[in-house]
A and B are shown apart, each in its own frame.
Chain A
Amino acid sequence: MPNDQAVSDSIAASARAALSAVEPRPGVPKPDPIMVADHVRRSFGGLTAVNVEHVEIQRGAITALIGPNGAGKTTFFNLITGFDDANEGTWTFNDRQVAGTAPYKLARIGMVRTFQLTKALSRMTVIDNMRLGAKHQTGERFFAAILPFLWNSQEKSVGQKAMGLLERFNLHEKVGDFAGSLSGGQRKLLEMARALMADPELIMLDEPMAGVNPALKQSLLGHIKTMREEGTTVLFVEHDMDMVHDISDWVIVMAQGEVIAEGPPDTVMKDQAVIDAYLGAHHEAQLTETGESLTESSDGDSA
């Protein structure tokens, strides 16, 4: 274990080192971007939900996307993954233009996302949810499906992979249960594990910690670090500043649809523009300092 820890630390260190020379300003170019977005705009009627001039996501790093409620984070996720159509803009994934590509194709080429409102398939068992995530399954083709001998062995190996992940996410005792019988936090875990079944190159997690208890949070942080160790690029939306602080190599801040700040966690959380965006202008509080969360500090102020 200490050895693993050392490896993990060194990967984290190298991910951070790659970004250390990057200037902390919105839209800054990265040394090795997996995704680059330009002029992405989406409005709902008169409201411009997303208006991102330029943003790059560093390969192999854990990037946090933060911002107050309604900042446009989820909408940005939806646009990038093809679940919503941008009014304008282009973006590349692995140097390939992917704006306008069907969402299932984006998932196939390695851009897999989870949802803020969890989408565990509740009428299916946990293991079936997991199996659904695996790519290139012969038995998913119509004519092959009716000939089980064509896909039985693949089904078995998919099942083994699923069991491995379920164990990692502490869901292995729920294998045969309907996903609908899981708790909210367990569904988040299942959704994340299911996304990993698809071997993503870039995994995009929309609030993975929402509704997860503190003890589990720690192990979730571990899982996300493990993803990075295995070479997966992680982009996640999160409101829990401590978590953002703990695991992210880079933080991008959105407010009112625009990227207003970028940088390593320490730098960003001291940024006055970020504090203003979260707490309103002329506010003294800091986002994290002694570990108290944002809500606690604002509660303290209003009291």
Chain B
Amino acid sequence: MNEAVAKPWSTESLCPVCLKRISAERVIDGQEVWLVKSCPEHGETRTVLWRGEPDLPGWQRPKIPSQPPVCFTEPQFGCPYDCGLCSNHGQHSCSALFEITSRCNMNCPVCFADSGSSAESDPSLDTIETWLKSVRRACGDHIVIQLSGGEPTVREDLPDIIRMVRAEGFGFVQVNTNGLRLSGDPAYAGQLQEAGLTSVFLQFDGTTDEVYRRLRGRTLLDEKVQAIENCMQSRLGVVLVPTLVPGLNQDDIGNILRFGMERAPGVRGVHFQPVSYFGRYPSAPDNTQRLTLPEIIRAIEQQTEELMKVEDFAPPGCEHSHCSFHGNFVVLDNGKVMPLSSQNATCCNKPSPAAEGAMKSTRFLTHQWAAPEIEMPPASKAGKEKCCDCSEPPSLDDFLNRIKTHTFAVSGMAFQDVWNVDLERTRNCCIHVVAPDGRLVPFCLYNLTSADGHPLYRGKSHADIAP
């Protein structure tokens, strides 16, 4: 590694115990990058951020911060205690996430949704309408609206909520779901589609029941497959969303991608989320329990036998470079894929305004994560041996046809917890949760809890948040 870049980069983070803002350094140690920080009262923590290639120093896409057009709060206590968004924030919203229930129809060991509470605790339709209006005022109607929970499909009025989102003028609405209800009721996907749903963000942790048993406490593969089929029947775009846990499903990455590509163009892509740690942790989660973005990118290359390559993936144009990766492909008739994006986009490394990246990114996602606009041809045979001349490139005409339907987006986002949170990243975050009082809070900060399980934001008003 180049000595000149092997210097620590300074940023800020939080103390895992008292949640006070403290300075932090990203320290390069051989092939790894660590976040090292020290609270005068509670001592030092070291958390791994990045392991191996593509190297973090080269993984950059510099942006000029863009202040949100409308700010709901004024800076008072300092970042990250003023969300928000406040006028110090550096990026516009590209997705707004609505928690429409805290109830769930499952009981996963990895999740903190409250499967016990009753429907009365859900936000009312009036409340949701108020949120929608304020989000539209602050962010515009071009952004991604994600309905989340809990499990949003436990609400009987989910179709009404979707209709409300569309009536407010938002063009793209996505439901974040475990798929149980979609699999059990064949008519349900159609009802959601008719109400105006565009896309389903489907929790999909692996291609074997063993993965689900260990991660979710029960077998689920059949239900997932059925849910996908039902969504495809009803022309809902499906994005597979695996939570990756070291030692549990990281070897299934290639299978998940092949599973998805076999179902293109109904399945629109895969969005990987390495596990992060919320809730009560008496001691910091071991660093072997963390999977970093470059490890996922390399696993994609290895496990797809180089169908997809490391060089096909690039840092984001919207959020902070350290937050995510993405690569876009077209799935060809012969089972091969052709990359559509490349790191070349970053080689000139000229900073561009963050808001421009946010606009491009929403335009891309609202198109890519929805079902293709033209009639879907039968599912492709990606990853399967089908023809005798697999090595042959497609004809220009086939490619131009294919690109209209069979694009496939592969991405990953490394959510942060109290140990690895980098305030430079959250300050430039584009994915915002709508708090009950309508404030917008970067997703990672909204879910963040101290080591003993105390939330920074969830369930608190602005005045309660100061450390």
Q: Is chain B found bound to chain A in the same assembly?
A: no
- Which B residues are closer than 8 A to A by beta carbons? none
Question: What residues make up the interface of A, taking CB atoms closer than 8 Å to B?
Answer: none
